[in-house]
Structure formats: structure tokens, C-alpha cells
């Protein structure tokens, strides 16, 4: 690219940045104006103005407001005291459930500050040791562990109520000297093996990873695929550069932080100031800065407004939110270099302790991705785009026998994915209930949707849900969630280069001096004076000037004179609070717009002027080119195979493109497979997925020839007779006849039987389930079927 072309590209980028900034600024102003207008309408309807001129009403409100103020201060006082007690206990996990230690990583040859806990079922809950165990990994992102079992309605709770043994991976406040993230991964591998040994008769454990625990689960699955069951990752930032640069909803400013701070050097600097340990309070502060309205106003006003009932919930959450954990320098540097700035986990360049690469394509288990459109920390693009980067095409997913299921919430925030009781009762509960069915899905990419049945309740009065899966092509999903074709990710390549430069400069010129002047005393002092810690201990029993709060609160509770929640003056309070919140939201919108514009103004120009012409691995690839080798390989083997291949091809021929698959139909398939188990040889599930994936490709690209060559796979007379017998039984099974949606499949079964009877294909019906897209022209090659283990899926 010539210098003139580079300058032209830089000019185009600057023009786009300016246009987006102007539009985002205008949207921010419109939202603020709408909030002010809405507040005015509410104020005129509230009657607060008239009530304010009533002296008696005003006096009643003043007493109520003063009492609520005391109760509010008492809640903050209790928060500070709880903080001191929690720290004195060593910041124990905030799990709601009783638990016992199974393995303590601090005793390993390479010690780590991790442990495996077994959750003790509460009274009235019975678990079956032979059911699939669950292993839940919480994020190590500044806070302590336990958020996945924070309350009864949580990931732990729904798994226990489903009768599953549950294990929880926790970590302690202080890292072991010298531990690394790779040591942690190795310890978690040992945890999973221990769970398998404790439940030898059950299916492989399901691994649930929350946020950063999600990429930990994926690393674990990639390095240890044979011990892993299904993997569920919730709000996990797997592709950190992604985030849909937009002019409206969907802004995700956290991904710009690394670039605007100059890369990874600041994490190293902070760890050096901490005498080799990084303070997790810095990460928590970053989270709080994302939403200043909630951090500095909303949650406190809500506590004040509901001072009689809100303190227990507030204190429960703050106990977790106010527990700040530490990391070794090596750990935070590994995270920032490989994930937040380097974005390398999906690339296969990251190595484990044994020198092998973490290749996510090695994962054999089904993967469930749960994300939310309302999450501005891990937006859906970050949770999903790694699939595009790793697999590149639908055909590659199928050829590798992988099942990937996406579940998306429309509005819940990042923390709500893990702590919301409503999400636990709906999404997490349904994930637990359908994992076995997800394993029976053919290879491919699916969207899971959950529908609540109208006017129907379960035995406990709760809603009843229906679950269905519909298959999508990777290329279509990638285009739908990446409105800018991922061109907004290119400047992050410049971020990575600048970060490497700054990191090296810091290590050469500054790090020796920082380490020389740091010691445990200065590190401890810096941690205690962190603003997040100060706001807790400064408002606690350590402050003698606040000793009056507790007795005053007792007096208020004994003589409470509360106004009704819908009192006009109380309503006026909320209207005023909404205006303050709207103002802070406006500040956030303007700040984020400026941050975004500043980031792209710097790094889009750096990329345009100085970046290499060659795109990094993260750049979008030609999905058709990625698919071609897998298509050619499958079509070349269209006449090769045996009985298992024939069963897989028949199943693929019966599969209808674009048809939604309700959970009831998956369960029916399972019942059918059990009823005709004698016809399905035992085979490892992943081996079956590999066979099925290849046959899906063949049928999708050459449906007519796939049917015509089916007899070649059943050259042995016994195999053909066995297949025809199975088809006859399926065609006459009343369970299939009762399914109206399966009428097309029954017609296809009749065609398949006719082909097998005379060895040639009949004319295609008017509405074939799959249209032939292309035919094979390559010489077929022989493929050996994998070693058998379990029954093949129907």
C-alpha cells in the first residue's frame, strides 16, 4: 500500500469516528431530554407540590426521611463491620450452601490457591451420585468466589434440585508464591479427574464457567478433552477485541481500556507496587466506573428509599462485592497479554505447562454459550466471535463433530447472568434440564430459545417453559452480530503492537526501580488506602465518631413512623432521584462516546499509517474458502463407509433445513433410540458426531447423490437387511405416526427403503428435505470408523 493510500484510509477512518461521535452525542442529549420530560410529567401527576404546602404532611415526611437516613447510615455501618469480619476470616467464599473440601491445591507439588469443594445438599434435596456431576468455576476478576452459589436460586441451586452432585472450584485471597495461570489450569484438570473418580458410574462432569471462569473452562476442556462433559460458559470474554462499534445501544467501552492505558505495562506496574501481587480492587474499580449512576447514586438511593426492607439484600451482595482478592504478577500479566490486549486464546498460540498448545478445536464436548445483549462487559460478540475465528465455517464445525449452542438474554446485565434469581429459574434451570438432549444434537451451530407457556403453572406455582433448538449457519450468525464486519477490531492490532513496545520499555527502564522501592509494608499500605477499601473500613467500628449510629438505629426501629410508599412526597423523592440518575447516565454516555472517539482516533490512524498490510489471524476470513477442503473431503468419501455411516446419512437425510427442533422431539428421538438399541452399535459420542458431521456435509451439498450412493455403504447383505428392517419398524411406530411434523421424514424413509431395495434412487419428491447444491467429482477415499463405546444417537 502506497503512502497516499495509507493517508486516504486514515482520512476515511477519522471521518467515520467524527460522524459516530456526533451521532452518539446527539443520542445522549435526546435521552437526557426525554428523561427530564418524563420526570416533569410524573411530577405533575404525583401531587408532591400540593402535599409540600401541607405543614402536617411535610412534618410527617421529615420524620420519615430522617428515620430512613438513620437506617441508611446503619446499613453502611453494618457493611463496614462485615467487611472487617470477612477480612479477618480470610475472605471465605460467599456460598449460600454448606460445603466440604475435597482437594486443596495449596498441598499440590506445584501449589495454587485453589480448592475443590463438594456442595452439601440442603435439607429436603436429594441427589443421585450416579447422575452427571456439575463442576462450577467462578471468575477470578477481583472479587472472591461463590457468586455461582450466592443464593438458593442460583446455578448451584438449580443443579442440586435437578438431583445432580455439585462441586465448586474456589480460590483463596492470597496466591501461592510463584503460581501461574498454567499451574491453576493443571490443578483444575486434577479437580475434574477427582470428580470423575468419585462418580465412576455417572456421565462425564458438566463444567460451568462464569465470566473469566468461562475461558478457564475452555482452556481446561482443550487440554483435557477426554474427561470433560458438556461445557457451559456464561458471559465469558473469549474474543476480547469484539464489541460492535455502534452509534446507539451496544456500546462496550471496557474493551478500549487497554489501548487508552497504553497496554499491559500498567498491570505490571501495579503488581510491582504491590510487591509482586496485583490488587483485585483495581479490577473492581474498573467495573464500578462503567456505570457511575448505579455506583454512586442508584444503589444507595434504593437503600435509602427502602430502608426498612432493603438492608439484608444490600449487605449480602456487598459482602461479596467488597471482598478483594490478589493475583501474582505472572497471573495478571498472562491474562492481560493473552486475553485483554493480546486476544490470543482462540488462536492456538497459547501453550500449557507441557508445551502443547491450547487448541479449542480439540474440545469434544458440546459447548453452550450464554450471553446477554444488556452486558456491556462481555457483549455477545465477545462471547461468540471466537467460534468464527476458530472454525471459520459451518462445514468445519460439522467435520470436527462439534455441537455449539447459543443462548441469548435480551437485557440482563453482566452480573445478572450469574446472580439474578429470575435468570437462574429460567435460563440456568433449562440449561441443566436439557444438557443431555444437547448431547444428542447432530454437529452444528444452534440457537436455544425458551418460551413460557401462557396460563400454565407447575406444581409449585412457577412458570412452565418450552425449549427448542434451531440450526443456523455460522456465516449467517457472524454477519448478524457483527454489523461492521469486524473492521472495528483492526485498530486493536495497533494496540497490541504499542502494548508490546510499552511493556518492554517499562521492563527495561522502570521496573527495576519500582521493584527496588517496593516492599510488603508499602504494598499493604497501598492496598488499605485503596478508595474501595477505605469506604468500608472508614465507615465501621474503627471510626469512633460513628459509634452513635447503631443505638440510634435501634431507637428508630422501635419508634418507626413510616409514610406509605406511594405518598406524594415519597414519589417526589423518586422523581428527583431519577433526574440525578439521568444526569449521571448522560455523563456516562458522553464519557463513553469521547473514549470511543479517542481510541479510534489514535489507533485507527496508527493502524492505517503504520500497520502491516498482512492481516492478523483475527481478521475475517473467507468462510467459503475455509469450508471448501471439508466439503471436498466429505464428497470424496461419498461412496465409502459402512453401517454406521449409513445410519448417519439416513439421519442427515431426515434432517430438515431450518426446522426448529423442540425439546420434546429430541426426547422422542432418545426414546426411539432406546427402543431400537439393537440396531445401533455402541460408539463413543464424539466419534458418532464426527461421522454424522461428515454425512451432514455430504447431504447438504449433494443430497440426490447422497441418496443414490447409500447402497454403497451397505454393500454387505446383512447390513442392508438390518437397515431395511429398522426403517420398517420406524415407519410403523405409532409414536412417529402421531407426530405431524414428522410426516416429511416418513416420506423420506419410504424413498430410502425403496433405494435400498433395488439399489437405485427414485425421482425426488416435489418438496425434498434438502436440495442438492453440488455433486462430487473427486475419487473417493476410504475412512475407518472410530472404536465403538456407546450407542449411536438416532
pLDDT in tens, 390-405: 998 999 999 999 999 9
Backbone angles phi, psi at 377, to 5 degrees: -100, -45
Predicted confidence (pLDDT) at residue 122 exceeds the cutoff of 50: yes
Percentage of the chain modeled with pLDDT above 90: 58
Predicted confidence (pLDDT) at residue 673 exceeds the cutoff of 70: yes
The confidence score (pLDDT) of residue 246 equals 54
Alpha carbon distance 219, 741 (integer Å): 40
Cβ contact 138:210 at 8 Å: yes
Q: Region 216-231: what's the mean pLDDT?
A: 92
Would you give the DSSP letter of residue 239?
Answer: S
What fold characterizes domain 99-245+338-488? Rossmann fold (3.40.50)
Percentage of the chain modeled with pLDDT above 70: 91
Q: Region 21-28: what's the mean pLDDT?
A: 90
> Does residue 358 or residue 573 have the better pLDDT?
573
251 pLDDT tier (thresholds 50, 70, 90) = low
Tell me the average pLDDT of the chain.
87
The confidence score (pLDDT) of residue 648 equals 94
Predicted confidence (pLDDT) at residue 748 exceeds the cutoff of 90: no
- Alpha helices (H) along 544-620: 549-558, 568-610
739 pLDDT tier (thresholds 50, 70, 90) = low
Predicted confidence (pLDDT) at residue 779 exceeds the cutoff of 80: no
The confidence score (pLDDT) of residue 613 equals 53
The confidence score (pLDDT) of residue 239 equals 87
The confidence score (pLDDT) of residue 621 equals 52
Alpha carbon distance 60, 408 (integer Å): 47
617 pLDDT tier (thresholds 50, 70, 90) = very low
Predicted confidence (pLDDT) at residue 746 exceeds the cutoff of 90: no
Per-residue pLDDT tens for 513-566? 999 999 999 999 999 999 999 999 999 999 999 999 999 999 999 999 999 998
> Does residue 747 or residue 368 have the better pLDDT?
368
DSSP string across 191-221:
HHHHHHHH-TTSPPPEEEEETHHHHHHHHHH
Cβ contact 99:120 at 8 Å: yes
CA atoms within 13 A on the CB side of 677: 8
> Does residue 386 or residue 745 have the better pLDDT?
386
Among 329-333, 342-346, 702-706, which stretch is predicted with the lowest mean pLDDT?
Answer: 342-346
The H-or-E segment that residue 403 falls in is strand 403-409
Predicted confidence (pLDDT) at residue 704 exceeds the cutoff of 80: yes
Amino acid at each position: 500500500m502506497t503512502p497516499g493510500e495509507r493517508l486516504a484510509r486514515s482520512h476515511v477512518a477519522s471521518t467515520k469516528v467524527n460522524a459516530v461521535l456526533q451521532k452518539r452525542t446527539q443520542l445522549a442529549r435526546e435521552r437526557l431530554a426525554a428523561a427530564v420530560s418524563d420526570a416533569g410529567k410524573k411530577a405533575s401527576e404525583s401531587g408532591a407540590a400540593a402535599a409540600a404546602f401541607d405543614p402536617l404532611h411535610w412534618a410527617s415526611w421529615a420524620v420519615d426521611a430522617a428515620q430512613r437516613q438513620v437506617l441508611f447510615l446503619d446499613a453502611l455501618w453494618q457493611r463496614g463491620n462485615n467487611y472487617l469480619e470477612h477480612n479477618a476470616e480470610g475472605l471465605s467464599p460467599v456460598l449460600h450452601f454448606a460445603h466440604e473440601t475435597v482437594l486443596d491445591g495449596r498441598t499440590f507439588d506445584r501449589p495454587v490457591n485453589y480448592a475443590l469443594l463438594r456442595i452439601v445438599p440442603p435439607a429436603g434435596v436429594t441427589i443421585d451420585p450416579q447422575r452427571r456431576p456439575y463442576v462450577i468455576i467462578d471468575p477470578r476478576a477481583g472479587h472472591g468466589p461463590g457468586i455461582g452459589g450466592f443464593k438458593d436460586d442460583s446455578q448451584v441451586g438449580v443443579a442440586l434440585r435437578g438431583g445432580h452432585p455439585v462441586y465448586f472450584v474456589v480460590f483463596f485471597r492470597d496466591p501461592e508464591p510463584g503460581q501461574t495461570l498454567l499451574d491453576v489450569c493443571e490443578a483444575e484438570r486434577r479437580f475434574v479427574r477427582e470428580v470423575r473418580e468419585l462418580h465412576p458410574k455417572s456421565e462425564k462432569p458438566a463444567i460451568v464457567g462464569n465470566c473469566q471462569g468461562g475461558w478457564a473452562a475452555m482452556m481446561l476442556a482443550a487440554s483435557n478433552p477426554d474427561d470433560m462433559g458438556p461445557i457451559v460458559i456464561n458471559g465469558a470474554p473469549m474474543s476480547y477485541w469484539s464489541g460492535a462499534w455502534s452509534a446507539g445501544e451496544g456500546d462496550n467501552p471496557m474493551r478500549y481500556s487497554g489501548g487508552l492505558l497504553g497496554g499491559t505495562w500498567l498491570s505490571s506496574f501495579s503488581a510491582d507496587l504491590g510487591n509482586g501481587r496485583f490488587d483485585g480492587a483495581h479490577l473492581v474499580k474498573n467495573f464500578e466506573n462503567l456505570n457511575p449512576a448505579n455506583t454512586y447514586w442508584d444503589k444507595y438511593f434504593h437503600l435509602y428509599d427502602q430502608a426498612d426492607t432493603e438492608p439484608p439484600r444490600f449487605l449480602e451482595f456487598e459482602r461479596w462485592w467488597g471482598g478483594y482478592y490478589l493475583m501474582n504478577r505472572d497471573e495478571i500479566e498472562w491474562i492481560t497479554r493473552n486475553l485483554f490486549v493480546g486476544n490470543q486464546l482462540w488462536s492456538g498460540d497459547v501453550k500449557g505447562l507441557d508445551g502443547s498448545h491450547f487448541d479449542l478445536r480439540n474440545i469434544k464436548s458440546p459447548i453452550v454459550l450464554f450471553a446477554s445483549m444488556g452486558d456491556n462487559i462481555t457483549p455477545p460478540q465477545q462471547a461468540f466471535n471466537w467460534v468464527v475465528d476458530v472454525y471459520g465455517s459451518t462445514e468445519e464445525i460439522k467435520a470436527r463433530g462439534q455441537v455449539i449452542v447459543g443462548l441469548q438474554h435480551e437485557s440482563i446485565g453482566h452480573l445478572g447472568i450469574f446472580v439474578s434469581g429470575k435468570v437462574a429459574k429460567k435460563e440456568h434451570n433449562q440449561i441443566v434440564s436439557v444438557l443431555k438432549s444437547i448431547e444428542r444434537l447432530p454437529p452444528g451451530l444452534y440457537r436455544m430459545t425458551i418460551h413460557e407457556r401462557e396460563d400454565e403453572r407447575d406444581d409449585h406455582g412457577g412458570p412452565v417453559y418450552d425449549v427448542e433448538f434451531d440450526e443456523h449457519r455460522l456465516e449467517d450468525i457472524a454477519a448478524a452480530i457483527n454489523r461492521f464486519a469486524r473492521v472495528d477490531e483492526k485498530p486493536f492490532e495497533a494496540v497490541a503492537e504499542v502494548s508490546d513496545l510499552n511493556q518492554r520499555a517499562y521492563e527495561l527502564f522502570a521496573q527495576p526501580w519500582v521493584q527496588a522501592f517496593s516492599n510488603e509494608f508499602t504494598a499493604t499500605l497501598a492496598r488499605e488506602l485503596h478508595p474501595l477499601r477505605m469506604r468500608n473500613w472508614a465507615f465501621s467500628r474503627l471510626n469512633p465518631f460513628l459509634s452513635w449510629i447503631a443505638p440510634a438505629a435501634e431507637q428508630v426501629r422501635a419508634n418507626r413512623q413510616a409514610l406509605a410508599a406511594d405518598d406524594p412526597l415519597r414519589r417526589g423523592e423518586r422523581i428527583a432521584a431519577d433526574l440525578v440518575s439521568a444526569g449521571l447516565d448522560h455523563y456516562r454516555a458522553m464519557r463513553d462516546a469521547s473514549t470511543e472517539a479517542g481510541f479510534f482516533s489514535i489507533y485507527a490512524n496508527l493502524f492505517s499509517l503504520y500497520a502491516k498490510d498482512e492481516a492478523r489471524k483475527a481478521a475475517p476470513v473467507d468462510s467459503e474458502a475455509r469450508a471448501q477442503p471439508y466439503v471436498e473431503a466429505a464428497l470424496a468419501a461419498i461412496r465409502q463407509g459402512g453401517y454406521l455411516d449409513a445410519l448417519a446419512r439416513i439421519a442427515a437425510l431426515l434432517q430438515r433445513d431450518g426446522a426448529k427442533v423442540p425439546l420434546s422431539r429430541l426426547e422422542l428421538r432418545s426414546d426411539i433410540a432406546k427402543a431400537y438399541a439393537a440396531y445401533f452399535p455402541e460408539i463413543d459420542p464424539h466419534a458418532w458426531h464426527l461421522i454424522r458431521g461428515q454425512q451432514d456435509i455430504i447431504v447438504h451439498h449433494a443430497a440426490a447423490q447422497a441418496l443414490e450412493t447409500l447402497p454403497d455403504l451397505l454393500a454387505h447383505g446383512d447390513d442392508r437387511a438390518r437397515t431395511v428392517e429398522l426403517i420398517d419398524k420406524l415407519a410403523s411406530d405409532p409414536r412417529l405416526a402421531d407426530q405431524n411434523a414428522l410426516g416429511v421424514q416418513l416420506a423420506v424413509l419410504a424413498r430410502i427403503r425403496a433405494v435400498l431395495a433395488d439399489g437405485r434412487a427414485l425421482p425426488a419428491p416435489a418438496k425434498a428435505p434438502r436440495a442438492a447444491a453440488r455433486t462430487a467429482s473427486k475419487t473417493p477415499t476410504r475412512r475407518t470408523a472410530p472404536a465403538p463405546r456407546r450407542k449411536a444417537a438416532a
